[in-house]
Chains A and B, each alone.
Chain A
Amino acid sequence: MNVLTGRSARAWAGFAGAAVVLFAIAPLALSDFRLGLLAKYLCTAMVAVGICLAWGRGGLLTLGQGVFFGLGGYAMAMHLKIADAGPGNLPDFMQLYGTATELPWWWKPFENPAFALAATVLLPMAVAALLGLFIFRRRVKGAYFAILSQALAAALAIWLIGQQATTGGTNGLTDIQGFFGYSLDDPVNQRMVYFVIAAALLLLMAIARQLINSRYGELLVAVRDSEERVRFLGYDPANVKLVAYVVAAGMAGLAGALFVPAVGIISPALIGIVPSIEFVIGAAVGGRASLVGAVLGAVAVAWAKTALSEEFPAAWTYFQGLLFIVALAFLPGGLASLAVLVRRRRKAPPAQKTAAVPLGEAA
């Protein structure tokens, strides 16, 4: 990055443009309500940044990003619930069920704001590292990995629902009032949350871009396209995949943590199989291998969901399904590849290279 080549200059210009849109134009042009919605979409986009890295670049189709989103979200919400309740008091839903007389032991550390904040990112990363170590070391891959990650999302959601007394069960952790001393009812503070989310998204995009453009990024694509060749060259593909998976998990965790003050709730319904796949939809529609494509796709799909389900609640599901089918069956590189095709750039969309792997070998 020492020399500003044409490519990186363009990237920085795009970055500056995105910053202007997010920090100046959007807050001026949108009502408080719409800005709150945008904050929610940007959280989805943060998850999509991780998916772009793990799936688009690394070929790891993770259908369990909801798990990491949930871990981050619950870590944040647990701290905010304790803070809302005040010192010595139990969070409201625990008093309601009356099953817990004191804070469960695993809630206690979350009283500490520094611990809770660190946990929102480190906890998902630790879980991903543990699981990834087991999965990638034994060369579990492809469909096996996708299905296991999906089962993990199902298991976490089912487990949370089962622990009614300590996790709020199906309802989850709701009605969060404050955010580190700031009341979330106040529109000014809601704007502040939006700015934090926008800044976090830009930060994650910068991190992902640096990773993708580094030597590691090239190694990641090499593992996706031919794992055996990378192994023969003396690298361990398991470690390469592990890093992408863990970074993606941390990004999803941060997204979940910031989603909580933006929306005021976290529940199993937001982190199970269906939302986990919806995270992937946005990235796929926009373009899994393109960072900007994945982010814009995530925002566009989330926006379309709100807009269409407001007008036609039933039609949205048909549209969502159709969007998925058309984007994946007929445009594997997503809308980003469409832009590439239109501009007749020489570089082919990288996503199509995975298609060249013969079936027998992929199994």
Chain B
Amino acid sequence: MTVILGQTFTGISIGAVLLLIALGLSLTFGQMNVINMAHGEFIMAGAYTTYVLQKSISSAGISLLVALPVAFLVSGALGALLEWLLIRRLYLRPLDTLLVTWGVSLMLQQLARDIFGAPNVQTRAPDWLTGNITVIGGDDPLTFANSRLFILGLAVAAVVALSLTLRLTPLGRRIRAVVQNRDLAEVSGISTSTVDRTAFFIGSGLAGVAGVALTLVGPIGPTMGTNVIIDAFLVIVVGGIGQLKGTVIVAFVLGVLQSVLEYSTTVSVAKVLVLVAIVAFLQWRPQGLYTLRTRSLV
């Protein structure tokens, strides 16, 4: 019994990491219709920010907490810069943004290699995140790692913050207006280019936060972005592009599925099976779990 609970918790924590990574993508891919392959490198930027901050702030606990907002700003600034330099020229060609941002991602990876070196680096986890919480004691104990719980909390906080921003603030209203009808929004006096850049700033910033979280569960390296980006894209596609609710549900479902399959087979077989499950799911709902209902033919 505890094995099942333990695997489920592992799955939920994988899901929380997936959710954090996919959240920013949900904004830039879902809302802005830009397939940003450099999103993984913004995650990497967040992770390296954590690393650099820990070099200068000796207390691991404080440096982690400082890293969260700083990584948000660093990655967000990178995202806004990318939007201004390249992406705004490509809003009508979504598939080309995929390839152009792949070029950007190549360059950012090499930049990281030149600055920090090719080998992976590691950060120290703060003391208050190293232990476990024992949920069920006794001979067959069930324990949750503190760092995993922290990531889960972070993911939930990020989802709440993003959805409140989109729902309640004037900025959120403007973003939704641009997504629903770009031309009408422009005519109504909304500066769509400013909204685009702000949305990109927030989406990329969330990647930075995800990068901070990833330092708690794995090493930091130039290729860390490539390793996670595909999973994040799959979450968005299955959840329904631009659907926050779908992203949240699918991240956790895929996390648990991956964890359960890994337990009963191997890591590599589990990956393949998850992909098969996704293709099968898209037979049933080709547009993902949730879709914006329209009368559009395409």
Contact of B268 with A328 in the complex, beta carbons under 8 Å? no
Contact of A332 with B226 in the complex, beta carbons under 8 Å? no
Hey, which chain B residues are within 8 Å of A156, CB to CB?
Answer: 272
Contact of A328 with B241 in the complex, beta carbons under 8 Å? no
Of the four ranges (under 10, 10 to 19, 20 to 34, 35 or more), the interface on chain A belongs to 35 or more
Given the interface contacts A284-B99, A329-B96, A332-B96, does A320 sit within 8 Å of B286 by beta carbon?
no
Residues 14 to 41 of chain A near chain B (Cβ within 8 Å): none
Given the interface contacts A152-B275, A317-B109, does A361 sit within 8 Å of B286 by beta carbon?
no
Nearest Cβ in chain B — how far from A6, in angstroms?
34
Of the four ranges (under 10, 10 to 19, 20 to 34, 35 or more), the interface on chain B belongs to 35 or more
Nearest Cβ in chain A — how far from B294, in angstroms?
8
- Which A residues are closer than 8 A to B by beta carbons? 61, 63, 131, 134-135, 138-140, 142-144, 146-148, 150-152, 154-156, 158-159, 161-163, 227-228, 273-274, 277, 280-281, 284, 314, 317-318, 320-325, 328-329, 332, 354-363
Closest residue of chain B to A358 (Cβ to Cβ) is B92
Q: Which one of A148, A273, A324 contacts B279 once the chains associate, using CB atoms below 8 Å?
A: A148
Hey, which chain A residues are within 8 Å of B296, CB to CB?
Answer: 360-361
Given the interface contacts A135-B279, A228-B297, A314-B113, does A162 sit within 8 Å of B96 by beta carbon?
no
Hey, which chain A residues are within 8 Å of B96, CB to CB?
Answer: 328-329, 332
A-B contact pairs, 14 of them (CB 8 A): A140-B286, A143-B98, A147-B35, A155-B272, A162-B268, A227-B298, A277-B99, A281-B99, A317-B106, A317-B110, A318-B107, A321-B105, A324-B99, A329-B86
Hey, which chain A residues are within 8 Å of B107, CB to CB?
Answer: 317-318, 321-322
Hey, which chain A residues are within 8 Å of B234, CB to CB?
Answer: 147, 151
Given the interface contacts A158-B272, A227-B298, does A321 sit within 8 Å of B279 by beta carbon?
no
Given the interface contacts A144-B237, A329-B90, does A320 sit within 8 Å of B106 by beta carbon?
yes
Contact of B230 with A151 in the complex, beta carbons under 8 Å? yes
The answer to whether B103 has its CB under 8 Å from any CB of chain A is yes
Add 5 more A-B contacts to A320-B103, A321-B103, A359-B94 (CB < 8 A). A144-B286, A146-B98, A322-B103, A325-B86, A361-B298
Q: Which one of A148, A159, A332 contacts B237 once the chains associate, using CB atoms below 8 Å?
A: A148
Hey, which chain A residues are within 8 Å of B267, CB to CB?
Answer: 158, 162
A131 to B283, CA, bound (A): 11
Contact of B282 with A158 in the complex, beta carbons under 8 Å? no
Q: Which one of A328, A357, A363 contacts B99 once the chains associate, using CB atoms below 8 Å?
A: A328
Contact of A131 with B279 in the complex, beta carbons under 8 Å? yes
Contact of B297 with A155 in the complex, beta carbons under 8 Å? no
Closest residue of chain B to A231 (Cβ to Cβ) is B297
Hey, which chain B residues are within 8 Å of A355, CB to CB?
Answer: 92-93
A239 to B106, CA, bound (A): 35
Contact of B268 with A143 in the complex, beta carbons under 8 Å? no
Given the interface contacts A147-B233, A159-B268, A273-B230, does A359 sit within 8 Å of B103 by beta carbon?
no
Given the interface contacts A134-B279, A147-B237, A162-B266, does A359 sit within 8 Å of B92 by beta carbon?
yes
Closest residue of chain B to A324 (Cβ to Cβ) is B103
Closest residue of chain A to B38 (Cβ to Cβ) is A321
Nearest Cβ in chain B — how far from A144, in angstroms?
5
Hey, which chain A residues are within 8 Å of B297, CB to CB?
Answer: 228, 361
A120 to B90, CA, bound (A): 38
- Which B residues are closer than 8 A to A by beta carbons? 29, 33, 35, 86, 89-96, 98-100, 102-107, 109-110, 113-114, 182, 226, 230, 233-234, 237, 241, 266-269, 271-272, 275, 278-279, 282-283, 286, 296-298
Hey, which chain B residues are within 8 Å of A131, CB to CB?
Answer: 279
The dominant DSSP class at the B interface is helix
Closest residue of chain A to B288 (Cβ to Cβ) is A144
Hey, which chain B residues are within 8 Å of A362, CB to CB?
Answer: 33, 94, 298
Contact of B279 with A325 in the complex, beta carbons under 8 Å? no
Give 7 nearest A-B pairs by CB, closest first.
A162-B268, A324-B103, A321-B107, A317-B110, A321-B106, A321-B103, A138-B286
A355 to B91, CA, bound (A): 9
Q: Which one of B91, B95, B100, B278 contacts A151 once the chains associate, using CB atoms below 8 Å?
A: B278
Hey, which chain B residues are within 8 Å of A321, CB to CB?
Answer: 103-107, 110
A7 to B239, CA, bound (A): 49
Nearest Cβ in chain B — how far from A156, in angstroms?
8
Nearest Cβ in chain A — how far from B117, in angstroms?
12
A247 to B144, CA, bound (A): 51
Contact of A325 with B272 in the complex, beta carbons under 8 Å? no
Hey, which chain A residues are within 8 Å of B286, CB to CB?
Answer: 138-140, 144
A314 to B106, CA, bound (A): 11
Hey, which chain A residues are within 8 Å of B33, CB to CB?
Answer: 359, 362-363
Closest residue of chain A to B91 (Cβ to Cβ) is A359
Hey, which chain B residues are within 8 Å of A155, CB to CB?
Answer: 271-272, 275
Contact of B226 with A280 in the complex, beta carbons under 8 Å? no
Contact of A325 with B35 in the complex, beta carbons under 8 Å? no
Nearest Cβ in chain B — how far from A133, in angstroms?
10
Closest residue of chain A to B279 (Cβ to Cβ) is A134
Contact of B268 with A323 in the complex, beta carbons under 8 Å? no
Closest residue of chain A to B106 (Cβ to Cβ) is A321
Closest residue of chain B to A164 (Cβ to Cβ) is B268
A103 to B103, CA, bound (A): 42
A320 to B286, CA, bound (A): 34
Closest residue of chain A to B90 (Cβ to Cβ) is A329
Hey, which chain A residues are within 8 Å of B99, CB to CB?
Answer: 61, 277, 280-281, 284, 324, 328
Nearest Cβ in chain B — how far from A233, in angstroms?
14
A341 to B93, CA, bound (A): 21
A360 to B234, CA, bound (A): 21
A358 to B114, CA, bound (A): 40
Contact of B103 with A325 in the complex, beta carbons under 8 Å? yes
Hey, which chain A residues are within 8 Å of B93, CB to CB?
Answer: 332, 354-355
Nearest Cβ in chain A — how far from B142, in angstroms?
29
Q: Which one of B182, B268, B282 contacts A359 once the chains associate, using CB atoms below 8 Å?
A: B182
